[in-house]
């Protein structure tokens, strides 16, 4: 199962020399318009007046597993290319694709502004943690910048080795898939069995824990007790004719001395 964590980025780009560093000092077009683009970078280095940025791809994997409320907010950097105006200037972003519905599953700000005197701002996307996310399926939203009287797509792509990245679009992929705790494979395989998102979600519901609370537990000390409680609950549900299943439809099973008797379903 793919592990999704906050903003896992796919590619790594390094721009040195001319490229992006020259773009910082580009003075813009005669008509006063500037370029605008989605830009992620995880670090930068300075040498005199030169700045080198380590760029990342404009595709993001995001998990709502640790979100405790009904919503979470994803902040997307939007950078200016060209003249930095002293005036606030609006820019336009619209949903252009995806598997979810704007207004129901996510919302965009009513107004987007590049502040005067600034070369970067953030697009803040509000994503709702819906009941449908319990299926573990990855949803995605694709957003695109649109030209207006202030901004044009002067930077449409950036090169990453042999790959070309579209800087005018960004895709946010998200789900409710939990990261497997690194201690699971060390201490739980012989009691709780093979890790799965559904199993961890079952344990959290059973114990009334959040994911962050579970992550802080000492599984070396509690894995056997946790497996005993899980066996009792799983067996109870199986005996009642309502067995707990994995996302693929298979019966949820533990390991070792904590196996659930599913003989009635064979």
- Does an H or E element contain 1, and which? none
Q: Specify the higher pLDDT residue, 46 or 192.
A: 192
| Percentage with pLDDT > 90 across the chain | 44
pTM: 0.61
Domain with CATH 2.60.40.2030 in the chain: 8-175
The pLDDT of residue 7 is above 60: no
Please say whether the beta carbons of 260 and 234 come within 8 A. Answer: yes
| Tokens found for residue 52 | 């080198």
Between β-strands 59-63 and 34-38, what pairing exists: parallel, antiparallel or unpaired? unpaired
Decide if pLDDT at 55 tops 80: no
Distance of CA 57 to CAs 16, 32, 156, 224, Å?
A: 17, 29, 13, 42
The secondary structure of 174-236, three-state, reads EECCCCCCCCHHHHCCCCCCCCCHHHHHHHHHHHCCCHHHHHCCCHHHHHHHHHHHHHHHHHH
92-143 confidence digits (pLDDT tens): 999 999 999 999 999 999 999 999 999 999 899 999 988 888 777 888 899 9
Strand partners, 18: none
**3-class secondary structure, 153:** coil
pLDDT of residue 167: 87
Q: Does domain 8-175 match CATH 3.40.1410.10?
A: no
What integer is the mean pLDDT of 226-234? 96
Question: What pLDDT, on a 0 to 100 scale, did the predictor assign at position 153?
Answer: 92
Can you name the residues that pair with 80 across neighbouring β-strands? Answer: 36
- CA–chain centroid gap for 112, Å, is 22
Please provide the average confidence, as pLDDT, over all residues in the chain.
80
CB 87 within 8 A of CB 45: no
Mean pLDDT, residues 214-234 taken together: 93
Beta bridge partners of 51: 46
Inter-CA distances, 100 with 146, 151, 175, Å? 20, 28, 12
Q: What are 144-203's pLDDT values in tens digits?
A: 999 999 999 988 887 766 667 788 998 888 887 777 888 899 999 999 999 988 898 889
* d(C-alpha 1, C-alpha 228), whole Å: 25
Helices (H) and strands (E) in the chain, counts: 5, 17
Residue 263 per-residue DSSP state: G
Give Cβ neighbours of residue 231 (< 8 Å, ≥ 6 apart): 254, 258, 259, 260
pLDDT value at 19 more than 50:
no
CB-CB contact of 179 with 65 (8 Å): yes
């Amino acid at each position: 199962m793919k592990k999704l964590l906050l903003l896992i980025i796919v590619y790594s780009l390094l721009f040195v020399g001319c490229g992006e560093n020259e773009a910082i000092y580009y003075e813009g077009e005669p008509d006063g318009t500037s370029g605008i683009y989605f830009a992620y970078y995880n670090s930068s280095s300075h040498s005199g007046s030169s700045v080198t940025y380590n760029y990342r791809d404009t595709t993001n994997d995001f998990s709502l597993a640790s979100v405790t409320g009904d919503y979470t907010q994803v902040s997307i950097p939007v950078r200016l290319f060209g003249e930095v105006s002293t005036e606030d200037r609006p820019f336009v972003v619209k949903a252009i694709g995806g598997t979810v519905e704007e207004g129901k599953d996510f919302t965009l700000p009513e107004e987007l502004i590049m502040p005067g005197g600034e070369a970067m701002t953030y697009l803040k996307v509000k994503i709702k943690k819906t009941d449908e996310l319990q299926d573990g399926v990855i949803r995605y939203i694709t957003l695109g910048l649109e030209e207006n009287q202030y901004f044009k797509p002067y930077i449409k792509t950036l090169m990453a080795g042999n790959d070309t990245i579209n800087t005018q679009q960004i895709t946010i992929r998200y789900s409710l898939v939990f990261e497997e705790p690194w201690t699971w494979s060390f201490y739980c395989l012989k009691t709780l069995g093979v890790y799965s998102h559904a199993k961890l979600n079952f344990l959290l519901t059973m114990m009334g824990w959040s994911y962050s609370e579970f992550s802080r537990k000492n599984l070396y000390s509690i894995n056997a007790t946790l497996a005993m409680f899980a066996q009792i609950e799983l067996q109870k549900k199986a005996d009642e004719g309502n067995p707990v299943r994995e996302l693929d439809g298979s019966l949820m099973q533990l390991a070792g001395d904590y196996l659930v008797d599913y003989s009635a379903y064979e």
